[in-house]
Amino acid sequence: MGRGKSIDPRDVKSKENAKMQLKRNIGYFDGVSFIIGSIVGAGIFVSPTGVLKHSLLNVGIALTIWTASGLVSLMGSLCYAELGTALPFSGGEYSHIKRGLGSLPAFVFIWTSTFTKPASNAARALLFAEYATQPFYGICPAPEALKKCLALAVLWSLGILNGCSVKMAAWVQTVFTLLKMMALSVIAVGGIVLLAGGRKESLARFEDAFSSEIPNASQVAEAFFQGLYAYGGWWSLNYMAVAVAVTWADRVIPSVAWIIPVSVAVSIFGALNSSMFTLGRLSYAGSQSGHLPVLISMLNVHSCTPAPAMIFSTTIASIFIIPSDLIMLTNYFGFSAWLMIGLTCASLIVLRYREPHLHRPYKVFLPVPFVMVAMSFFLVLAPIVWSPNLQYVYAFLFMLGSLIVYLPFIHFKLHFAFLDKITCHLQLLLEVAPADGSAESKCE
């Protein structure tokens, strides 16, 4: 897609000996902060409402789904641990799917992620704006224009930060990870105090926990989506105007209830920073493999950061902030996240048999990826089979549309000369150059 000759700004600079590649600037503690930032975001504050709702207020079923969600997330992380240590390349699932299943499934992943992941970032930014403005307006809703402007400001601030300095992005992530863990500690201690106090209203719902109506398969799958989002930080969207954290604050600490909206905003900010960091690397890896325009794989000549990839993903996320029906638009692609997780775990199985001698510092128990593939198919198919909805048809057609792009531009390598000129001008404007080394750059 527009891959051809391009001007290399390094030809006019004195840094010919310096390698242009992603640097290994992320240390152990920074890496842990990014992982926590991805896992602990908005979901832990808002997902309990969704789990309980789709469980038809059956407390026993809801608690069972929370437990099962934790086990499924653990199994998924074990599968990803094997792939990540055996194939330590930028791009995560994209690189794994490409290695295990081939170019076409990898392109379907990058095509879908190009829109769903920025849409998720847009939802996080809007959710941040919702909570950040709430303490200033009390019970009155904040103006929509204000929330959208704040969401755009946060989105572009983090986009510029991640495009300019990996170390600064890691520092911000570490600070906000510590702040969000403090917020979670307040909620956890408050809940323990309520239960330890033995208040009847606190324990009443645990009596006859399974006595309520039993949800059907579709409702169970949708409840799992909510629980898995909170556990794993999956890229599905969970935007609710009424969040369980605010209700909790009003009941437990009414005099300082404003602390919780601020804490949620802090948590979402950290999750958004982590999400934008990883999305930039995904776009970078896709471009290096020829699945996205060549400009996106170039690095800034001063900082060696994937600035074009950050601009690309941030721009798409900004477009998703504009419409008022954001959730309706992004829900069309909701099931794709678990479909891609299924493909990733399937690639692990394929690689086990096709490349048995591949160096694997860690190997997951083989039945685990099979369970993950089966779980993925259940989560994808259950809502479609038991409660057919037109939005799933739209999502499927959108993914199928990737073939329209893949066949001419990737498979048959159709190329337009005018794209080279655009690439050259943008290179000079952004001061970026092609990365050195192989198409699959090592992780930072």
What does DSSP say about strands 432-433 and 299-300: parallel, antiparallel, or unpaired? antiparallel
Looking at the structure of the chain, the number of domains it has is: 1
Residues 6+ away with beta carbon under 8 Å from 380: 335, 338, 339, 342
Q: pLDDT, tens digit, for every residue of 207-251?
A: 666 666 777 777 787 777 777 766 765 333 322 236 444 454 555
Alpha carbons 47 and 191: distance in angstroms, whole number: 16
| 371 within some domain | no
| 77 within some domain | no
| 362 within some domain | no
Q: pLDDT, tens digit, for every residue of 43-96?
A: 666 667 667 777 777 778 888 888 888 898 889 888 888 888 888 776 778 888
Is there a contact between 21 and 440 (Cβ–Cβ < 8 Å)?
no
| 350 within some domain | no
| 193 within some domain | yes
CA angle in degrees (0–180, nearest 5) for 392-397-400: 130
Is there a contact between 221 and 65 (Cβ–Cβ < 8 Å)?
no
Q: pLDDT, tens digit, for every residue of 101-155?
A: 999 999 998 888 888 788 778 878 888 888 888 878 777 788 888 989 999 999 9
Residue of higher predicted confidence among 101 and 15: 101
CA angle in degrees (0–180, nearest 5) for 157-335-313: 25
Summary mean pLDDT of the chain: 75
Average pLDDT value for residue range 273-281: 79
Look at residue 92 in the predicted model and tell me its pLDDT: 75
Alpha carbons 99 and 342: distance in angstroms, whole number: 15
Is the pLDDT at 330 greater than 80? The verdict is no
Q: What percent of the chain has pLDDT over 70?
A: 70
Render the burial of 75-89: b for 16+ CB within 10 Å, e for the rest.
bbebbbebbbebbeb
We report the CATH number of the domain holding residue 429 as: 1.20.1740
| 240 within some domain | yes
Is there a contact between 266 and 180 (Cβ–Cβ < 8 Å)?
yes
**Identity of the highest mean pLDDT range in 26-35, 139-148, 167-176, 377-386:** 139-148
pLDDT band at 332 (very low <50, low <70, confident <90, very high): low
Is there a contact between 315 and 152 (Cβ–Cβ < 8 Å)?
no
| 93 within some domain | yes
Is the pLDDT at 312 greater than 80? The verdict is yes
Alpha carbons 365 and 348: distance in angstroms, whole number: 11
Give me the DSSP letters along 250-261: HHH-GGGTTHHH
Taking the model in full, what pTM does it have? 0.74
Q: pLDDT, tens digit, for every residue of 338-396?
A: 888 899 999 999 999 999 999 999 899 999 999 999 998 888 887 777 777 677 677 77
Domain range spanning residue 102?
9-56+89-336+379-433
Look at residue 105 in the predicted model and tell me its pLDDT: 92
| 440 within some domain | no
